[in-house]
Amino acid sequence: MNTVPSLNIAGAQPLQFPIPANVYAQTVVSVRHYTDRLFSFRITRPQSLRFRSGEFVMIGLPNAEKPVFRAYSVASPSWDDELEFFSIKVPEGPLTSELQKIEIGDTILMRQKPTGTLVVDALTPAKRLFMISTGTGIAPFASLLRDPDTYEKFDQIVLAHTCRDNAELVYGQELVAALENDPLIGELTGGRVTLYNSTTREQSARMGRITALIASGKFYSDLNIEPLNPQTDRVMICGSMHMLRDVKELTESHGFKEGSLANPAEFVVERAFVG
Ligand code: A2P
């Protein structure tokens, strides 16, 4: 059976734990800390892994006989030869209290089956796609925005990202800024992606929860666009549990029907939290 050293605890001899069955052991290739609450990292991609852009995987650390696994949306597109993730850091979190300490060369465990509802195949074609996210909920959209299939299905994409403070918005701002120069999809994305940011706990150019900004109409007037309409639009939603519930309710109040791979329709909600 394969074993990998556990993460280094300063001065301690690395312990050896067996890699559980049906789990990939991958290597960290980069780590970037955005704030004391958010960081992103990239790992090597198992050759046999296939996933749809927007799906999530279960990841863990090789630091226990029975490691803790948590759902992480893959933030890189399905064609990328590495896997990217965008993570929160929870001081007492069973996984992220340790995960936030990873360094290049460390081992990440990943269960072998990707899954998820935030995939373009769960939506019927339309003119505009609205990606509504808060915090690390932007991750599946980072994947979808770098996938040519998204641009084949929709003409215009609006990415709404709300965070507590300005520094938490940087990941998404850099992502969108890099799209136009992307060698693979740069030509497709030109002029078709609009980023809509707001903060809720730090002063910024635009403040407020996305639910309030949509409900008041400010979202539409700021962007100079027509209101959400199931005839022309599709919606994808990803964020905290309460956010999912509230944005889903708001979307349904506009007459949108929830879709799935079996029955594609007008909006989809991340199911990693809501089960
Ligand atoms: P707020 O600061 O008013 O709680 P978090 O990092 O806690 O997941 O929050 C990310 C962003 O999501 C914050 O700006 C937060 O606003 C916002 N948020 C939290 N709950 C909801 C909700 N039910 N509907 C819309 N936005 C929400």
Q: Is 59 inside any structural domain?
A: yes
What spatial distance separates the first Cα and last Cα of the chain, rounded to whole Å?
Answer: 33
Q: How far is CA 60 from the centre of its chain?
A: 17
CA of 200 to the centre of ligand 1 (A): 7
Structural domain total, the chain: 2
Tell me the β-bridge partners of 130.
Answer: 158, 235
For 35-42, what is the mean pLDDT?
A: 97
Q: Tell me, in angstroms, the distance from the centre of ligand 1 to residue 119's CA.
A: 23
Residues 85 and 11 in one domain: yes
Task: Report pLDDT for 21.
Answer: 85
- Which among 111, 137, 167 is the end of a domain? 111
Q: Is the pLDDT of residue 9 over 60?
A: no
The answer to whether residues 71 and 146 belong to one domain is: no
Place of tokens 């309409």: 229
Ligand 1 probe mutation, 96, 134, 198, 201, most atoms within 8 A of CB: 134
Convert the pLDDT of each residue in 82-94 to its tens digit.
999 999 999 999 9
Percent of the chain surpassing pLDDT 70 = 93
Burial 70-87 (b: 16+ CB within 10 A, else e): bebbbbbbbebeebbbbb
Collapse the DSSP code of 141 into the 3-class scheme (helix H, G, I; strand E, B; otherwise coil) and give the result.
Answer: helix
With the C-alpha atoms ordered 167, 164, 211, 87, is the resulting torsion angle positive or negative?
positive
- The type of residue at 221 is S
Q: Is 206 found in the same domain as 182?
A: yes
Q: How far is CA 100 from the centre of its chain?
A: 17
pLDDT at residue 13, rounded to an integer: 47
**Residues 226 and 131 placed together within one structural domain of the fold:** yes
Same domain, 134 and 263: yes
Lowest mean pLDDT among 32-41, 113-122, 181-190: 181-190
Residue 35, Cβ neighbours under 10 Å: how many? 15
Residue 11 shares a structural domain with residue 87: yes
Is there a single domain that holds both residue 161 and residue 215? yes
Q: For residue 181, is it within any domain?
A: yes
Query: Which DSSP letter does residue 207 get?
Result: B
Q: Which residues of 221-240 are buried (b: 16+ CB within 10 A; e: fewer)?
A: eeeebeebebeebbbbbbbe
Gap between the Cα atoms of 89 and 97, Å rounded: 6
Residue 148 in domain:
yes
Tell me if 275 is assigned to some domain. Answer: no
Other CB atoms within a 10 A radius of the CB of residue 66 amount to 8
Residue count of the chain: 275
Last residue of a domain, one of 59, 90, 111: 111
Which of 77, 111, 145 corresponds to the end of one domain? 111
Nearest CA-CA partner of 197 in 129, 268, 134: 134
Could you give phi then psi for residue 83, rounded to 5 degrees? -115, 135
Residues 190 and 143 both lie in one domain:
yes
Co-location of 205 and 259 in the same domain? yes
Q: What are the residues facing 193 on neighbouring strands? A: 157
Judged against a pLDDT cut of 60, whether residue 4 lies above it is answered with no
Same domain, 81 and 167: no
What stretch of H or E contains 175? helix 170-179
Q: Residue 18 maps to which CATH number?
A: 2.40.30.10
Q: Which atom of ligand 1 is nearest to the CA of 137?
A: 8
Query: Which amino acid is it at 142?
Result: A
pTM for the model: 0.93
Q: Which atom of ligand 1 is nearest to the CA of 163?
A: 14
Q: Does residue 228 fall inside a structural domain?
A: yes
Q: How far apart are CA 188 and CA 146, in angstroms?
A: 10
160 and 26, same structural domain? no
Q: Are residues 149 and 202 in the same domain?
A: yes
Which pLDDT score, from 0 to 100, does residue 99 have?
97
* H and E: helices and strands count for the chain: 8, 13
Domain membership flag for residue 193: yes
Going by alpha carbons, the residue nearest to atom 11 of ligand 1 is 163
Give the binding-site residues of ligand 1, using a 6 Å CB cut-off. 134-135, 162-164, 200-201, 209-211, 239-240, 242-243, 246
Structural domain span for residue 79? 3-111
Q: What percentage of the chain reaches a pLDDT higher than 90?
A: 86
Q: Which atom of ligand 1 is nearest to the CA of 198?
A: 14
Q: What is the pLDDT of residues 109-161, one digit of tens each?
A: 999 999 999 999 999 999 999 999 999 999 999 999 999 999 999 999 999 99
